Amino acid sequence: MATQSAPIFDTDELVINMGPQHPSTHGVLRLVLKLDGERVVDCDTVMGYVHRGIEKLSENRDWTQIILLTDRMDYVAAATNNLGYCETVEKLLGVEVPRRARYIRTILAELQRIGSHCLWLGTHAMDIGAMTVLLYAFRERELVLDLFEEYCGARLTYNSMRIGGLPLDLPSGWDRKAREFCDVMEGKLPEYEELLTNNRIWLERTRGVGVISAGDAIGLGLCGPPLRGSGVYRDVRKDEPYAAYDEFDFEVPLGTRGDTYDRYLIRLEEFRQSIRIIRQALDGLPEGPIMGKVPRLLKPKAGETYHAIESPKGELGYFIVSDGRATNPYRFRVRPPSFCNLQGLKPLIVGHLVADVVCLIGTIDIVLGEVDR
């Protein structure tokens, strides 16, 4: 291909707007795609359609009110958002959280991971055309929502944690139901796998699609399953244990090729590891109080802190500055995993076909509420 003759026909790039109203941009993401035929030559990611100014709002609310706002960021994983925020403030205040509360928080966070991954699996498969998986995954997600509803009364925005512990103890019989759920979920996973894992079409659609090398993944600041799919061992639960994760046995699945199929396998394995963690936590659930000793008036000393947790989407970090005088944060900043993973979308998409675009939006698993905040 030393000399490339000029095309005979008049060729032009087709610019199409994918989103903000599009069935598979997972919310109000807008992609301006430049197409050469069906191949994407350039992609412009436009976001901000659900920007509600949560960070700025939080700077004018007192510490406990902010928990409500964190619910509204990643609205499919509200409990992990609560957890990340509460732990950051506890770190700032130097509050000790009772062991029972830490166990229950872990259970809730892992249930949330299952719920969030169910939603991811369903929509990802739906984007690629396998619509039955969506209904199957939502059927199991319903059980997660039921468990949360029984625990805190809400099904989507839980407000399920407090600074220093938990608002409520587990209702009686809840642990039995959670165990039953683990059994059900374990039984349903093979159903998903049967429909997808060895499906020729699924393999062709996901293998070798959206390959990203370990170096690129780190360079782009990816986190969570997209980072681990490229074979980088990074899981905040292992690296900087929080809640009660240091007391449990679990593995961090890693990919080798860094393609969409690997990221799919990783998330499926995370289902199993989450079930394993929940079971261990339920078995070893200690007795005791659920609230630590927290001062009536929350007024952390002047200072700043950063604390990260592993949300279902990746590393969710909070950076909070307190000026030591007010009952609200001086600066509140979130490092949302969806936002950082969205950075990786353009390099993933360029060079692929339109059909792969929806598949790649699915594989990075973004929630626009969290991207825009």
| Contact pattern for other proteins over residues 92 through 121, marking x by CB under 8 A | ------------------------------
Distance of alpha carbon 49 from alpha carbon 261, whole angstroms: 30
Candidate list 148, 151, 181, 202; residue touching other proteins; CB under 8 A:
202
Closest distance of CB 85 from other proteins, Å: 34
User: Nearest CA to 261 among 315, 196, 349?
Assistant: 196
Cα distances (Å, whole numbers) of residue 124 to 23, 221, 361: 12, 22, 8
Nearer to other proteins, 89 or 196 (CB): 196
Largest CA distance in the chain: 78
CB of 188 to other proteins, least distance (A): 11
Residue with tokens 């209904």: 135
DSSP 8-state assignment for residue 246 = G
**Amino acid at the residue 176:** R
CA 204/CA 198 separation, integer angstroms: 10
The only residue of 29, 79, 128, 265 in contact with other proteins, by rule CB under 8 A: 128
Q: Is 132 in the site for other proteins (CB under 8 A)?
A: yes
Q: Which of 30, 99, 139, 177 binds other proteins (CB under 8 A)?
A: 139
Q: Closer CB to other proteins, residue 23 or residue 153?
A: 23
Give the whole-angstrom CA distance, residue 62 versus residue 204.
Answer: 51
Shortest Å, Cβ 357 to other proteins: 8
Residue of 189, 179, 361, 144 whose CA lies nearest to 285: 179
196 binds other proteins per the rule CB under 8 A: yes
- Is residue 197 involved in binding other proteins (CB under 8 A)? no
195 is a site residue for other proteins (CB under 8 A):
yes
Q: How far is the CB of 148 from other proteins (least distance, A)?
A: 22
Binding test (CB under 8 A) with other proteins, winner from 130, 152, 281, 298: 130
Extended beta strands in 312-346, E state: 314-322, 331-335
Instruction: Indicate which single residue of 96, 204, 239, 246 sits in contact with other proteins (rule: CB under 8 A).
Output: 204
Is 16 among the residues that bind other proteins (CB under 8 A)?
A: yes
Question: 354 with 40: CB under 8 angstroms?
Answer: yes
229 contacts 223 by C-beta, under 8 angstroms: no
Provide the 10 A C-beta neighbour count for residue 173. 9
DSSP code, position 335? E
Q: Binding segment for other proteins among 14-22, 63-71, 101-109, 282-290 (CB under 8 A)?
A: 14-22
355 scored as a contact of other proteins (CB under 8 A): yes
Residues that bind other proteins (CB under 8 A): 14, 16, 22-24, 35, 38, 125-132, 135-136, 139, 195-196, 199, 201-202, 204-205, 353-358
